[in-house]
Structure 1
Amino acid sequence: AAALLDDKLTSSLSKKMALTAGDLETSIVPADAGVALDSAGTVAGLTGFTLDPVYLWEHLTGGREVQPLLHVDDAKFTATLDSIASSLLVEPVDGTVAFVDGEAVATDAKDGSGVDIKEAQARIVDNLFTTVRPVALSSVATVPTITQEITDSYLEQARQIASGPVTVKVDGQTAEIPVDIFTKDISVEVEGTTMNFAYNGKDLSKEIVKRTTNLLTDAKDARFVFEGGKPVIKAGKAGTTIDEEELVAEFAKAASSETRTAEIKLVEFESEDSVESLKKLGIKEKVASFSTPVPYAPPRTENLRVAAERVTGTLVKPGEEFNLIEVIGPISAANGYHNSGVIVNGVHTEGMGGGLSQMSTTAYNAGFFAGMTDIAHRPHTVWFNRYPMGRESTLYSGSIDMIWRNDSSTGILMRSYISNNQLVVEAWGTKTYEVTTTTSPKRNIVAATTTTSTAANCEAYPKGNDGFNVTVTRKVKEIATGKIVKDEAKSWTYRPDNGVVCKKPEAAADKASKSDE
Structure 2
Amino acid sequence: MRALLLCISFIVIWTNTVFATEIAEHKAIRLEKVEVDQYALNQIDPLFIDENKLHQLVDDLKKKIYKAPKNATIAKSGNIILEKPGITIDEDQFYIQFKKTFYDDKADGFHIPVEKVYPRVDKALLEDIRTKELGNYVTFYKKGNEERSHNIALAAEAIDNHVVFPGEMFSFNKVVGERTKSRGYKRAPVIVKGELSEDIGGGICQVSSTLFNAVDLKGIQIVERYAHSRSVPYVPPGRDATVSWWGPDFSFKNMYNEPVLIRAHASNGKMLVRITSSDTVENFTGS
| Pair 1:259-2:106 in alignment | yes
Q: Which of 175, 200, 203 is 2:54 aligned to?
A: 203
**Partner Cα distance (2:208, 2:85) in 1:** 34
Deviation digits for residues 381-416 of structure 1, max 9, x if unmatched?
333343123222222331222111112222222221
Q: Distance in 2 between matches of 1:364 and 1:179?
A: 58
- Asked if 2 retains the 8 angstrom alpha-carbon contact of 1:318 and 1:406, the reply is yes
Q: Report the Cα distance in structure 2 between the residues aligned to 1:391 and 1:294, rounded to whole angstroms.
A: 16
Name the residue aligned to 1:268: 115
- SS of 1:378's equivalent in the other structure is coil
2:198 paired residue number: 350
The amino acid across from 1:275 in the alignment is D
Q: State the Cα distance separating 1:274 from its structure 2 match.
A: 6.3
> Which residue pairs with 1:408 in the alignment?
256
2:8 paired residue number: none
Question: Quick one: distance in 2 between partners of 1:385 and 1:409?
Answer: 35
1:331 equivalenced with 2:182 (yes/no): no
Residue 368 of structure 1, CA deviation: 0.8
Q: What is the Cα-based RMSD across aligned positions, in Å?
A: 4.0
1:302 and 2:123 aligned = no
2:136 is matched with: 289
Matched, 1:182 2:40: yes
Distance 1:185 1:406, change over 3 A: farther
Which residue in 2 is equivalent to 1:241? Answer: 89
Residue matched to 2:238: 390
Structure 1 segments unaligned to the other structure (5+ residues): 1-169, 188-195, 434-477, 486-517
Indicate whether 1:417 and 2:265 are aligned.
yes
Question: How has the CA–CA distance of structure 1 residues 259 and 288 changed in structure 2, closer, same or farther, with 3 Å as cutoff?
Answer: same
For residues 354-384 of structure 1, the C-alpha deviation after alignment (integer angstroms, 9 at most, x for no partner) is 2222111101111113731111112223333
| Alpha carbons 2:73, 2:83 under 8 Å: kept | no
Cα deviation, residue 353, structure 1: 1.8
What is residue 18 of structure 2 aligned with on the other side? none
Larger radius of gyration: 1
Q: Hey, what does 1:224 align to over in structure 2?
A: 72
2:40 partner letter: F
Q: Report the secondary structure of 1:223's partner residue.
A: coil
Conservation of the 8 A alpha-carbon contact between 1:289 and 1:426:
yes
Q: Among the aligned pairs, what percent are the same residue?
A: 21
Superposed displacement of residue 225, structure 1: 1.5
Using the alignment, how far apart are the partners of 1:348 and 1:281 within structure 2?
A: 44
Name the SS of the counterpart of 1:259 in structure 2: coil
Stretch of structure 1 that moved more, 389-398 or 359-368: 389-398
Determine helix, strand or coil for the equivalent of 2:72.
Answer: strand
The answer to whether the 8 A contact 2:39-2:49 is kept is no
- Where 1:318 maps in the other structure, the secondary structure is coil
In structure 2, give the amino acid aligned to 1:294.
Y
1:186/1:415 Cα in 2 relative to 1: closer, same or farther (>3 Å)? Answer: farther
- Asked whether the 8 Å contact 2:72–2:122 carries over to 1, the reply is no
Residues in 2 aligned to 1:389 and 1:376: alpha-carbon distance in whole angstroms: 18
Paired amino acid for 2:137: F
Distance 1:276 1:317, change over 3 A: same
Normalising by structure 1, report the TM-score: 0.42
Q: TM-score if structure 2 supplies the norm length?
A: 0.71
Q: Quick check: which one's helix share is greater?
A: 2
Deviations along 1:141-175, whole A, 9 cap, x unmatched? xxxxxxxxxxxxxxxxxxxxxxxxxxxxx747452
Give the equivalent residue in structure 2 for 1:367.
Answer: 215
* Cα deviation, residue 303, structure 1: 1.0
The letter of the residue matching 2:253 is R
Q: Distance in 1 between matches of 2:136 and 2:106?
A: 67
Do the aligned partners of residues 292 and 319 (structure 1) sit closer, same or farther apart at CA in structure 2, a change above 3 Å counting? same
Q: Is the 8 A contact 2:29 2:111 kept in 1?
A: no
Gaps of 5+ in 2: 1-26
* Matches of 1:219 and 1:262, distance apart in 2: 24
Q: Is the 8 A contact 1:254 1:262 kept in 2?
A: yes
1:234 offset after TM fit, Å?
1.4
Matches of 1:294 and 1:185, distance apart in 2 = 69
Give the number of aligned pairs.
258
1:134 corresponds in structure 2 to none
Q: What are the residue-to-residue correspondences of 1:35-74 with 2, within 5 Å?
A: none
Looking at secondary structure, tell me which structure has more strand per residue.
Answer: 1
